[in-house]
Amino acid sequence: MATDGIPDEPDRDEQPPPPDPRYDYDLVAIGSGPGGQKAAIAAAKLGRRVAVIERRHMMGGVSVNTGTIPSKTLREAVMYLTGMAQREVYGASYRVKSDITIEDLFARTQHVIGREIEVVRAQLLRNHVDIHNGAAAFVDPHTIEVTDVDGRRSRFTSQFVVIATGSRPHRPDTVQFDERTVVDSDGVLALDRVPGSMVVVGAGIIGIEYASMFAALGTRVTIIDKRPTMLEMCDPEVVESLKFHLRDLSVSFRLGEEVAGVDSSPRGTVTRLASGKKIAADTVMYSAGRQGQTATLDLAAAGLEADNRGRIHVDDEYRTAQPHIFAVGDVIGFPALAATSMDQGRLAAYRAFDEPARELAGIQPIGIYTIPEISYCGRTEDELTRDSVPYEVGVARYRELARGQIVGDSYGMLKLLVHVDTRELLGVHIFGTSATDLVHIGQAIMACGGTIDYLVDTVLNYPTLSEAYKVAALDATNKIRAVARFSEV
């Protein structure tokens, strides 16, 4: 049984075709993050000759070293040390540790990063994937040159290539980053202390995640974004719930405002807004989107090009303009999540070797690790209204669940969107404890074309947060029944 996220292939009468002698490898993945790793392992499971290229200090890619893993581990440390989850029960002053230092927070982070790096390396080696340490660049569409830290160069060829180089924080030319008071989302992980005040520029997923973490630590946070709303891809009711919770943690919002500049000094920073306002803070964190890491790949040598954000255009099969070269993960843009990148890598490898594969792209879950969590899957109310789809809403509040009271979550909610006529589950939107885990129940039902009748009829463990599904399903069912009853002549 496979333990690396890629199923072992069943025994077959037909063996894989013999390797093409023109190439050193059947598939090479540039990058060992979620997309590259899963592409490499999937190809190896098919009996192919596979290699991964990665810089020596970045095994596991951005996800393990500076992105998903450290930020989510930091969140877990914040949740534990601040006692956030227990304050509903023990009072707002409850703390596990009264004076939380940056060392307290990052000790756990470094431990988890180290373990994850070893897991990634072990999975690749167990599947007989060659690992080449260094920076990759195309020589021609099938030839890649690798330069190691000592400047030594080596070349090899591959029948197929998967570009999975990930992304880095975008840095506007107008901002002077000093890695101390003005930082990006990578620089946050290198702060030498917990700031007393912070300005977060950018109300996207990364910006709001970090804003909520530092607010939980007691930092006075101001969020600035030129857009009128934050997390605009989410359900508006869920976003309003998060804003209410963040305001309770003394977070200020300056939405619809544009940053004109940032002045820094040994004492701190002053952020100047185009409207004339000035905001003083110890630290400014810029979260102005991500930049695909393609600048050093020499894409032109492979007959490819990237846009002004370093992203590569792909088709529905993740093929680039060169059909034998695929690109997956952050380097192709939205949704740029570790979970979706993993599946894109697996699918790219399968399609390279004509292996049957099915993609459930329409119901991929989105997880946002704010405090509290947000997660959703399927369609939103705005989308259904725009498309004139008749739907009903079923809502469950955590405060009405016994488990909600036990875990001290009185603010969480789960919303189901249900087709009035077919009773199909069209969308799931969750805010609160374990949202990113709970969403998969609704995802599984939607993937199977299920209806809310399953949730109404089934028995769920008590007391659990999963009960919210049944409560919300009954709420939607009762509303549909009421409309039918009131419509009777």
pLDDT tens over the chain, length 489 residues: 456 776 665 444 456 777 888 999 999 999 999 999 999 999 999 999 999 999 988 999 999 998 999 999 999 999 988 887 777 776 666 667 778 888 988 888 999 999 999 999 999 999 999 999 999 999 999 999 999 999 999 999 999 999 999 999 988 888 889 888 999 999 998 898 999 999 999 999 999 999 999 999 999 999 999 999 999 999 999 999 999 999 999 999 999 999 999 999 888 999 999 999 999 999 999 998 899 999 999 999 999 999 999 999 999 999 999 999 999 999 999 888 899 999 999 999 999 999 998 887 778 999 999 999 999 999 999 999 999 999 999 999 999 999 999 999 989 999 999 999 999 999 999 999 999 999 999 999 999 989 999 999 999 999 999 999 999 999 999 999 999 888 876
The residues facing 368 across adjacent strands are 374
Alpha helices in 144-235 (DSSP H): 205-216
Backbone angles phi, psi at 83, to 5 degrees: 65, 25
The residues facing 392 across adjacent strands are 418
pTM beyond 0.85: the answer is yes
DSSP 231: S
**CB contact set of 424 (below 8 Å; sequence gap of 6+):** 418, 446, 449, 450, 451
HEC per residue, the chain: CCCCCCCCCCCCCCCCCCCCCCCCEEEEEECCCHHHHHHHHHHHHCCCCEEEEECHHHCCHHHHHCCHHHHHHHHHHHHHHHCHHHHHHHCCCCCCCCCCCHHHHHHHHHHHHHHHHHHHHHHHHHCCCEEEECEEEEEECCEEEEECCCCCEEEEEEEEEEECCCEEECCCCCCCCCCCCEEECCHHHHCCCCCCEEEEECCCHHHHHHHHHHHHCCCEEEEEECCCCCCCCCCHHHHHHHHHHHHHCCCEEEECCCEEEEEEECCEEEEEECCCCEEEECEEEECCCEEECCCCCCHHHHCCCCCCCCCCCCCCCCECCCCCEEECHHHHCCCCCHHHHHHHHHHHHHHHCCCCCCCCHHHCCEEECCCCCEEEEECCHHHHHHCCCCEEEEEEEHHHCHHHHHHCCCCCEEEEEEECCCCEEEEEEEECCCHHHHHHHHHHHHHCCCEHHHHHHCCCCCCCCCHHHHHHHHHHHHHHHHHHHHCCC
Amino acid letter for position 467 = E
The string of pLDDT tens digits covering residues 115-134 is 999 999 999 999 999 999 99
CA distance 28 to 37: 10
The string of pLDDT tens digits covering residues 166-189 is 999 988 888 889 888 999 999 998
**CB contact at 8 A, 463 and 403:** yes
Give the pLDDT of residue 10.
47
pLDDT > 70: percent of the chain? 96
Give the CA angle between residues 230, 233, 235 to the nearest 5°.
90
Give the number of other CB atoms < 10 A from CB of residue 110: 12
**CB contact set of 408 (below 8 Å; sequence gap of 6+):** 85, 86, 87, 88, 89
CA distance 337 to 339: 5
Alpha helices in 66-219 (DSSP H): 68-82, 87-90, 102-126, 205-216
How would you classify the pairing of strands 268-273 and 259-265? antiparallel
**CB contact set of 464 (below 8 Å; sequence gap of 6+):** 403
CA distance 439 to 420: 21
CA distance 456 to 440: 17
Give the pLDDT of residue 83.
83
